[in-house]
Structures are given as C-alpha cells and as structure tokens.
Amino acid sequence: MEIARYLTGQLAQVPGLEVITMPDGMIPSWYGLTATYRPGELGGLPIERFHQALIAEGATEFDRPGSTCPMNQLPLYQHPASLFPGHPHSHRRYQAGDFPVAEHVHAHTIRLPVWHREQDLELAEQYVRAAIKISDHHKELQ
C-alpha cells in the first residue's frame, strides 16, 4: 500500500500522466495502477512513442493494456460465428466509435504493476525517474 501511495503521489506530478489519488481513509487493493496519458501536455507526443521510450529506459513493466479493450472490439462481438458455429448472422455488428468513451479511455491508458514488498520501493523509484525523464525530454521524441 505504501508503494501505491508513493507511485500515485509521484506520477501525479509528471506532465503527460494523470493518476487518480485515493481519498484519505481509503485503502486501495490494486492489481495495477492505471494512468491516463495526456498527449496535449507533451506537445501531442503519441502514446505509442511515450510507451516505447519508457521501455527503452528499462521501465519494461509499463504496459499498454490490450486484453482490457472495450468489449465491442473483441472477436466475440466482431465475428461471433467464427467462435460459435451456427450463431445467427443477424446479430448487431459493433463498430469502432460505438462506445467512444470506453475507446478513448483504452487508447490513453498506461498500466503499471503495484509492487508490495518494502524492497520494491527502489524499483518503483526507478520507474518514476523513467517517467519523469521521458516527460522532461518529450520534445526530443517527436
């Protein structure tokens, strides 16, 4: 929990990233910490380039969540007959743009594990330093 507080406090100060801080008295139980990427704060730098730079800095556990995409983008909803032979072909076809808020959130999310052991604080500090470095040098990545 202390590492989660450290990460949210530090990453909230990094231009280009927005994290939700927990209100006093709330105890988070996170599997992963999500941050919303704000490209406008970094001159429009695409999230893919920001993420690549994090990886290049050794912060390899920063992740672009793929399995948590909006459900309308999953094969089950795009092509159910290929997964379920005999499925009626008259089902509603979901398209990109049908759920703009969910799609926007997914396209702007970066996830980071929340380590829990005291000895992992140094690792969390390295990840924060990598995010700060990329944010500070974003113009060089354009």
Residue pLDDT, tens place only, 46-78: 999 999 999 999 999 999 987 678 888 877 777
CB 75 within 8 A of CB 98: no
The tens digit of pLDDT for each residue in 18-57 reads 998 777 887 777 778 899 999 999 999 999 999 999 999 9
Contact 38, 16 (CB under 8 A): yes
Kindly report, residue by residue over 74-99, the tens digit of the pLDDT. Answer: 777 777 777 777 766 666 677 788 88
pLDDT top residue among 85 and 101: 101
pLDDT at 16 > cutoff 90: yes
The C-alpha atoms of residue 89 and residue 71 are separated, in whole angstroms, by 19
Per-residue tokens: 18: 């927005």
Find residue 64's DSSP bridge partners.
none
Contacts of 32 (CB under 8 A, 6+ apart): 63, 111, 112, 113, 114
| Cβ 112 vs Cβ 103: under 8 Å | no
Q: What is the mean pLDDT of the chain?
A: 88
The pLDDT value recorded for residue 89 is 65
- Pick 2-66+109-141's CATH classification: 3.90.1150, 3.30.450, 3.40.50, 3.40.30: 3.90.1150
> What residues does each domain of the chain span?
2-66+109-141
At residue 91, the pLDDT reads 64
According to DSSP, the β-strands at 17-19 and 32-37 are: antiparallel
